[in-house]
Structure 1
C-alpha cells in the first residue's frame, strides 16, 4: 500500500471499519440509526460504493472486501466525501453473512464483477452457486433485491441459471436486466467495454414469505 492508503487505514479503521469476527452486528449501533441496509460484496477500490451511498443517503451501505488497498481507499473516500452511511468490512463475505448478519436484515445485496474463476475446475469457487445463493437470499427482507453484474458471458449464463432455479427468488426482468441508473460505471467496467466485452446485469427479488393456510 502507498502511504495515503496506509495512513487512511490506520486512522479511519477504528471509526468506520468492521472486522469479520463471527460476532453478530448490531446495525443500529454500527450506523447510529435504523435504516435499510445495502451489502456490497467485493467493493474493490470503493469508488462505486461511495458514489451510490452519496446518492442514496436514506439507506446505509456495508461494503466487504479482502483487498486491503481497496478497503483503505474506500475508508479515505468515506472521510473525503463525508459519507455517514458507509461502513467497511475486511474479510470473507460468506463469513460476514453467515455469522454476523441476521436473516431478513438486508434491503439489497450487490455483487458487482465478482471473480469469474473462468477455468472449469475452479467453478466451485464462484460466489454465485446454489448453496451460497440460499444464504444470500435468506439475509434479504421479503421484496429485497439481489443485483449481480459481470462481464463474463459464461459466468452470466451460470448466474442466470442458478438465480432462476432458486425457489425464493423472482427475476425482476425477462432474462438479463438493463444497467440501472444507480449502478455507476466503474473504471474496470469501462476497460472491459472498450475491450469489446458485454456487461450483464441480473436483478432478482426475494419472494414474499408464504403464508400458511393450516
Structure 2
C-alpha cells in the first residue's frame, strides 16, 4: 500500500467516526429537547421512556464506550426520578452527574441533590451541598436562601432536644395554668332578679 492510500483510508475513517459522533450528539440533543416538552406536560413516564430508548440505541451504546457516562442524560434522569418521587434513584443519578466539568450543570446537580437531602431532614449535609453550590456560583439566590433555611432548621432541630428547651417548655406550660385577666372577664348583660 502506498502512502497516499493509507492517508486516504485514515481520513475516510476519521470522517466516518466524526459523522457517527455528530449523529449521536444530534440524537442526544433531540432527546433532551423533547424531554423538556414532556416534563412540562407532566408526562414523566414518556420522558423516561425517551431516555431509555436513547440509551438502547446503537449509536448511544457506541458513544458510551468513548464517553463512559453522559452527565446530561444522568442529570435529566435525576430530574425525572425526583419528579416521580423516587428519591433514591434521583440521588444516584445526581451523583453520576456531579462528576461533570461543566460548572452550570454541576451547580444545578448539587442544588437538586441538596433539595432531596433536605426533604429527608438531613439539614447539615444539605447545608454543605448548598455551600458547595455557592462556591461554584456565588450569586445563586435560591442556594443562599436554602442554605439559611438549612442552618435555621439545624439550629431548631438541635435546640428541640436540648435540656434547656425542655426546661423552657415546662415553664411555658406552668404559665398556661395561671388564669390571665381576660379569660375570666364578665361579658354580657346583667340579669336582674325581681
Give your verdict on TM over 0.5.
no
Structure number with the bigger relative contact order (C-alpha 8 A, sep ≥ 6) is: 1
Name the TM-score, length of structure 2 as normaliser. Answer: 0.30
- The structure in which a higher percent of residues are strand is 1
- The structure in which a higher percent of residues are helix is 2
